[in-house]
Each structure stands twice: as C-alpha cells, then as structure tokens.
C-alpha cells in the first residue's frame, strides 16, 4: 500500500520468517554458525531456546537455505502430536513411503533405513523440530532413539530442536537426562539490543527498497519503538509496519516518535471499543517532544 510512496519494492516489515530478510545480530549470527557447524560436522544434537518472536523460526529457514541440496531436511512445525504422529510427520517430510497402518516401530525402522541410505551416498540428514516447547517427555524419548544412529566418528541424524523458554523446564526432567547429555550446542536467543534494533530496521528498509528507501526514522522514534518492543523482532516489525502506514496516511516520510506512538495506540486491539482505523480517526493530543535526533 505505502511501498511506492517510500520507494520500496516490497513490505520491509512483513512478519514472515523470510531468510532473504535475515539480519545477523551477533547472537543470530552465532546461533546460525553453531547450527551450521553441528550439521556440517555431523555432531548430532543442537538446542536453541529463545523468547517468543525472537527469531528461532527465521533462523531455521536461513539455515535450510544455506545447507542447500547437500542435506535432506525434515522440518517439523506441528508439535502438538503424539509420538507416532511425530514419526509419521518426519517420514512424510523425507517422502518415505509407509503404510497408513504403520506403527511406531515400523516408522522408526523406515526412517533408520532412509538415514542409512542417505549416509551411504554422502548426504546429511537433518531433523529440525520447531515449536519444541509443545513436545512431551514421551516424544522427546522417541526422538532420542533417532539420535542413537551413529558410526564410530559421526552421528547419522542431525537433530535441531528450537523452542520457547518453557522448553527448558521440560528438558530438566530426569527421564530426559540421556538426551540432554547428547546436546553438543545450546543457545538462548534474547531480544535485540537498542543498537541491533536500529541496524535491523535500517537493514530491512534497505533490503526492501528499489535503490534507497525514501523514509527516515528519528532517534526518538527508535527509542519509543525499543521501549515498546523491548527489542523483540516480531513486535519491532509490527510497530514499524504500522508506523509506515500512519506516515503514509499523514503524507510524511519522517517517522518521528509521535507517529510511532500513534501507530502503537492504533494497532493495539481495543476489545471494548470500536475497531481501529489507521487511516482515518482523530488526531491524538500532540505530545511535547522534540524529534531532532540521529536519523537512520
């Protein structure tokens, strides 16, 4: 809607885990490098936890793109399933043909055969489980059976599990100790720092623009975004997307703190009032604040 106005080719702050928009903060870069290392060196099992909306899924998409055709990847997003369903999903991702009536042991055998075949032709087999916080202890134990496949020097299945912070509580369970001992890399993703967020916003604008984006965010605007989002990328995206819409509707290419506050107020669902309308509506009372800071 506002893209042409700001000289953008597409929406810069779409909330999708698009690897083309992957921005390397220090911790995202480190997490990606460690995941890639685990997979390429066939080390076995990596775990990433992170706050809601901190970039876990985006990380997996970026990793998959980097691995390219040398790896066979099963990406499991739906973890509200039984352990048999989970194995079936994994088999499905690898396009392994199994009878609809196949039970857990049949599924496990089929997956193992597939893994060994892939290994014999030099391909790495990766199972990525996103939304790991929804898995139960039983499912984790089932998954552990897959990590048992190994040669003397390497693991045949690379298992990457990502999930929200509560995943840590599940993994503390005594029954999962054998699985935890197999973790070769663990990281917890935190929200971005203010400086990272500033660079993140600039990066996404440039990435989405035809040549140069025709929009500025004032320093105060950035501070309000940070105050509200606490550096969580998904919330930063939401605020910035709304702010661009408010700026466009107000015919200004300078996004200042007033626009940000208005965008935030209008995007919050007001369940007791009338629906929000970003383009129309009354002006909020002017705030006494100067917007003369650094621009990006």
Ligand X SMILES: Nc1ncnc2c1ncn2[C@@H]1O[C@H](COP(=O)(O)OP(=O)(O)OP(=O)(O)O)[C@@H](O)[C@H]1O
Footprint (CB under 5 A) of Mg ion, residues 57-76? 57
Torsion region of 228: left, alpha or beta (phi above 0 gives left; psi -120 to 50 gives alpha): alpha
- Per the CB < 8 A criterion, the answer to whether 72 and 94 are in contact is yes
Q: Which is nearer to Mg ion, 38 or 49 (CB)?
A: 49
Query: What are residue 233's DSSP bridge partners?
Result: none
Is residue 109 within the footprint of ligand X (CB under 6 A)?
no
Is residue 164 within the footprint of ligand X (CB under 6 A)?
yes
# of chain residues touching ligand X (CB under 6 A): 19
The span from the CA of 160 to the CA of 39, in Å, is 9
Compute φ and ψ for 251, nearest 5 degrees: 55, 50
The pairing of strands 71-76 and 124-129 is parallel
Listed residue (127, 128, 134, 135) closest to 111, CA to CA: 127
Q: What interhelical angle do 83-93 and 137-147 show, nearest 10?
A: 40
Q: Which is nearer to ligand X, 57 or 124 (CB)?
A: 57
- Per the CB < 8 A criterion, the answer to whether 295 and 224 are in contact is no
Q: If contact means CB under 5 to 8 A according to the sort of partner, which of Mg ion, ligand X, none does residue 217 touch?
A: none
- Which listed residue (17, 40, 98, 199) binds ligand X by CB under 6 A? 17
Q: Which is nearer to ligand X, 96 or 240 (CB)?
A: 240
Q: Which is nearer to ligand X, 52 or 177 (CB)?
A: 52
Q: If contact means CB under 5 to 8 A according to the sort of partner, which of ligand X, Mg ion, none does residue 234 touch?
A: ligand X
Q: Among 54-62, 120-128, 147-155, 192-200, which window interacts with Mg ion (CB under 5 A)?
A: 54-62
Footprint (CB under 6 A) of ligand X, residues 22-41? 22-23, 28
Is residue 226 within the footprint of ligand X (CB under 6 A)?
no
């Amino acid at each position: 809607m506002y893209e042409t106005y700001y000289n953008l080719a597409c929406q810069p702050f779409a909330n999708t885990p698009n690897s083309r928009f992957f921005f390397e903060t220090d911790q995202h870069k480190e997490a990606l490098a460690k995941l890639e290392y685990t997979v390429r060196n066939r080390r076995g099992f990596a775990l990433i936890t992170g706050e809601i909306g901190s970039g876990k899924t985006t990380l997996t998409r970026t990793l998959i793109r980097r691995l390219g055709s040398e790896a066979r990847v099963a990406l499991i997003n739906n973890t509200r399933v039984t352990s048999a369903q989970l194995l079936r999903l994994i088999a499905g991702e690898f396009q392994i043909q199994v009878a609809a009536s196949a039970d857990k042991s049949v599924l496990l055998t089929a997956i193992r055969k597939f893994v060994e075949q892939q290994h014999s032709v030099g391909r790495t087999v990766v199972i990525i489980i996103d939304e790991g916080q929804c898995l139960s202890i039983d499912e984790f134990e089932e998954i552990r059976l897959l990590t048992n496949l190994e040669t003397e020097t390497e693991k045949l299945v690379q298992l990457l599990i990502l999930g929200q912070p509560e995943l840590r509580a599940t993994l503390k369970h005594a029954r999962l100790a054998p699985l935890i001992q197999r973790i070769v890399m663990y990281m917890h993703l935190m929200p971005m720092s203010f400086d990272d967020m500033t660079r993140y916003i600039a990066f996404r604008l440039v990435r989405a623009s035809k040549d140069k984006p025709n929009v500025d965010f004032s320093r105060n605007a950035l501070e309000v975004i940070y105050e509200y989002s606490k550096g969580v990328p998904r919330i930063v995206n939401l605020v910035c997307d709304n702010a661009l819409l408010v700026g466009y509707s107000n015919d200004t290419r300078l996004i200042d703190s007033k626009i940000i506050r208005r965008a935030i107020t209008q995007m919050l669902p007001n369940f007791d009032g009338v629906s929000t309308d970003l383009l129309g509506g009354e002006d909020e009372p002017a705030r006494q604040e100067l917007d003369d800071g650094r621009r990006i």
